[in-house]
Structure 1
Amino acid sequence: MGLSSTVCRYHGFSACLVGISSWMTAHQLKLNPSKTELLVIPGDPSPAQDLVLSLNNSMISPSATARNLGETMDNQLSFSSHVANVTRSCRFLLYNIRRIRPFRDWTTATLFWQVYL
């Protein structure tokens, strides 16, 4: 894979990003470049991992993880970061339920467990 294919890939990604932004604008949506994450999942190590895109004078560089609809994906597709985030969230909820347990009866506490977990 030469330099010209990398340049073509960059222009393809940039055109796709501009197209997505245009579509969102046409449908009264806004693409926030500061919150946009770029996740590159290559089949093999390639120069595309160093890809940096620009949108509305804001640079979008690849990140190791990206969050979409509550799921955290990483560039190795190992889901270790997602499992860690879910574990941390559950541990925090259990801690909060444990703190309010003395002030609630058993059925209400059970309801909290069922709702939050």
Structure 2
Amino acid sequence: MAPGMVVAVAGRRVQVVEPRTWAYFQGPGPWVGASSAWVRVWWAEGRLWKRLKGVPGEALLVARFSEGRWESVPSAFRLPPAPREGWWRLRHEGEGWRPDRRLLEE
């Protein structure tokens, strides 16, 4: 979640209503055209939406894989296809990204 997102809550389920499509990245700033510091970045509807200061650690990406593509992730990120549709956490290992854990089924 990011400041400014509109969410709907039903029981224990939280759904992001706005923006409709989004992705989240935490990692080195130069990977997203920022300074050398670590950043947290949200893209919405395919554009940069928010960028905040990050804390050095593991490079992660959270995005939805739907209809054979990653939603809202810039094309500069070379991501392998996910095993199936849904929300995924991807980890950067060595020279590339890999889907690590499915977070939510659509």
**What is the TM-score of this pair, normalised by structure 2?**
0.24
The structure with higher relative contact order (CA 8 Å, sep 6+) is: 2
**What is the TM-score of this pair, normalised by structure 1?**
0.23
Determine which structure has the larger strand proportion and give its number. 2
